[in-house]
């Protein structure tokens, strides 16, 4: 069983893990995305759904395919044309005005520093390229198990739980070579259809094997501990 299917089995995931990578140019055999999306994180959902579609091996995006989302361009290290750069400034200004974001926070938002060539997306199980980051979507219990596994494996990043913007989780784990949970942001939830009870775990691909090994142990431990705790509840109720 491949590592992607193992993660799905261990966590009983409804959404398959997604592989994401950045390259100077597109590898042969991978098509460009058919249509530019309104947000960069929209490609995550497209890639997760691609396993059941004809484009099951994924797709790539160029810089212009991300211009619909100035915030995503910022976190992914994409240089914006003047008009879009002004849009980013205006959006940040609105966030600050709404007290959603403080201006001093902007500099601390994780961002890719390497030149942007293309981004590759595919279901992890079908990816024909080596990913930089693997993105796992799940509910609170599934993320609890991943957080425990990452901690046990010693790969929790300094920011073990992140918030907005969601796309900043990608450069964050690339820089830390670890794993982090991300609560999602309102933009991501609108653009991807992320359910209210779902969130993300982003993992540096080089640490995926050790995470899955740890996850196997953690899932087993939780199943046994659940029996123990339910037994205590049952005994207390019968007294």
| Mean pLDDT, residues 205-218 taken together | 95
**For the chain, how are helix, strand and coil distributed in percent, rounded to 5?**
50, 20, 30
The answer to whether the Cα torsion of 21, 65, 179, 197 is positive or negative is: negative
What pLDDT, on the 0 to 100 scale, is given for residue 54?
Answer: 44
pLDDT digits (tens, 9 = 90+) for 52-91: 444 457 899 999 999 888 788 889 998 877 776 676 666 6
Helix (H, G, I), strand (E, B) or coil at 33: coil
pLDDT digits (tens, 9 = 90+) for 133-179: 999 999 999 999 999 999 999 988 665 666 778 998 999 998 788 99
CA distances from 106 to 22, 71, 110, 195 (A): 23, 11, 9, 27
Extract the tokens encoding 95: 């966030």
pLDDT digits (tens, 9 = 90+) for 87-143: 666 666 676 776 666 666 666 788 889 999 999 999 999 998 999 999 999 999 999
pLDDT at 229 over 80: yes
Structurally, the chain folds into a number of domains equal to 1
Q: What is the pTM of this model?
A: 0.88
Structural domain span for residue 233: 3-238
The answer to whether the Cα torsion of 123, 126, 127, 132 is positive or negative is: positive
Cβ contact 166:184 at 8 Å: yes
Cβ contact 92:100 at 8 Å: no
Across the strands, what pairs with 203? 134, 179
What pLDDT, on the 0 to 100 scale, is given for residue 92?
Answer: 66
Helix (H, G, I), strand (E, B) or coil at 12: coil
Q: What is the DSSP code (8-state) at residue 61?
A: E
Characterize 180-189 residue by residue with b for buried, 16 or more Cβ atoms within 10 angstroms of its Cβ, and e for exposed: bbbbbbebbb
pLDDT digits (tens, 9 = 90+) for 28-58: 889 999 899 988 999 999 999 875 444 457 8
- Which of 156, 152, 166 minimizes the C-alpha distance to 203? 156
């Amino acid at each position: 069983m491949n590592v992607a299917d193992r993660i799905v089995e261990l966590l009983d995931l409804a959404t398959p893990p997604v592989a994401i990578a950045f390259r100077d140019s597109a590898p042969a055999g991978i098509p460009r995305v058919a249509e530019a999306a309104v947000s960069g994180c929209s490609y995550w959902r497209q890639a997760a759904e691609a396993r059941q579609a004809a484009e099951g091996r994924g797709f790539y995006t160029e810089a212009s395919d991300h211009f619909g989302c100035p915030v995503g361009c910022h976190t992914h290290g994409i240089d914006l044309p003047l008009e879009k750069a002004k849009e980013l400034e205006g959006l940040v200004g609105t966030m600050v005005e709404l007290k959603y974001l403080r201006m001093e926070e902007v500099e601390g938002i994780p961002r890719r520093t390497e030149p942007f060539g293309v981004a590759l997306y595919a279901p992890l199980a079908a990816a024909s390229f080596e990913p930089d980051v693997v993105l796992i979507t799940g509910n609170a219990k599934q993320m609890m198990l991943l957080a425990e596994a990452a901690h046990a494996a010693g790969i929790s990043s300094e920011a073990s739980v992140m918030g907005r913007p969601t796309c900043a989780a990608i450069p964050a784990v690339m820089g830390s070579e670890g794993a982090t949970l991300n609560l999602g942001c309102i933009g991501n939830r609108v653009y991807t259809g992320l359910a209210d009870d779902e969130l993300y775990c982003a993992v540096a691909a080089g640490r995926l094997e050790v995470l899955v090994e740890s996850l196997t142990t953690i899932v087993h431990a939780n199943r046994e501990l659940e029996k123990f705790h339910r037994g205590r509840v049952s005994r207390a109720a019968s007294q």
